């Protein structure tokens, strides 16, 4: 796993933190959800993936061929509006406070370095891409977080 990847994810978390002050802002032309929803969703995904990776048994890792994964990973980004977030990573409420978002950001930021301690074949099962080993999981987190940062930037533009 590259240190560069963890640094990129950490930079993205810092940018999310910079946007917390705008958590109530929305722009229906860009997204039905407000900035706070996109921040919270991104953090739920990061924490959920890290937890899944930590609990996985690397000896059982198998990665069958997945064309959708190959295409998205080659493009390096997700198309907007093509997938719906699973319930487990959908924020439970539309109402947040800056304090709640900042506390969650602090937790997620503390969790990211634990990725460097995991085995390369630690994995999580993505609903579309299937099993993703550690490096692919980190790449997924980078692409997913950037996807939501782009939406946040567009909401605020």
Better-predicted residue by pLDDT, 5 or 131: 131
> Has residue 2 got a pLDDT over 70?
no
State the average pLDDT over residues 93-121. 93
| Residue 29, pLDDT score | 96
C-alpha count within 13 angstroms, C-beta hemisphere, residue 97? 3
- Among residues of the chain, what percentage have pLDDT more than 90? 82
Whether 42 and 33 have beta carbons less than 8 Å apart is answered as no
pTM of the prediction?
0.93
Domains, the chain? 3-156 (1.20.120)
d(CA 23, CA 36): 4
d(CA 46, CA 56): 15
């Amino acid at each position: 796993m590259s240190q560069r990847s963890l640094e990129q994810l950490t930079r993205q978390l810092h940018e999310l933190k910079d946007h917390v002050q705008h958590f109530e802002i929305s722009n229906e032309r860009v997204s039905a959800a407000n900035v706070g929803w996109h921040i919270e969703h991104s953090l739920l995904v990061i924490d959920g993936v890290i937890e899944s990776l930590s609990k996985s048994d690397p000896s059982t890792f198998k990665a069958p061929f997945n064309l959708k994964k190959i295409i998205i990973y080659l493009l390096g980004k997700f198309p907007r509006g093509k997938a719906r977030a699973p319930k487990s990573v959908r924020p439970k409420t539309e109402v947040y406070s800056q304090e709640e978002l900042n506390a969650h950001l602090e937790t997620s930021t503390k969790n990211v370095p634990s990725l460097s301690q995991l085995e390369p074949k630690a994995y999580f099962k993505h609903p579309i891409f299937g099993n993703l080993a550690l490096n692919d999981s980190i790449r997924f987190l980078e692409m997913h977080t950037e996807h939501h940062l782009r939406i946040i930037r567009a909401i605020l533009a």
